[in-house]
Amino acid sequence: MKSRSSLRSLKRQPGSIVVRRRGRAFVINKRSPHLNTRQS
């Protein structure tokens, strides 16, 4: 899981959900898990 400076391009991918947990933004994608990311 890599950190990204911008999650905007990732949240446009099919199946992506942006979730905020513990002060961080996560992109969770169950269709293609290699798109899972964390932004601090």
Rounding to the nearest 10 degrees, give the CA dihedral for residues 10, 17, 4, 32: -60
- pLDDT, tens digit, for every residue of 7-30? 999 999 999 999 999 999 999 999
Q: Is 27 exposed, middle or buried (0-12, 13-18, 19+ CB in 10 A)?
A: buried
Q: How much is the average pLDDT of 31-40? A: 92
Structure confidence at residue 32 (pLDDT): 93
How far apart CA 1 and CA 37 sit, in angstroms, is 5
Query: pLDDT band for position 38 (50/70/90)?
Result: very high
Structure confidence at residue 4 (pLDDT): 81
Considering the entire predicted model, what is its pTM?
0.78
- Amino acid identity, position 16: S
The answer on pLDDT for 2 being more than 80 is: no
Residues 6+ apart with CB under 8 A from 20: 26
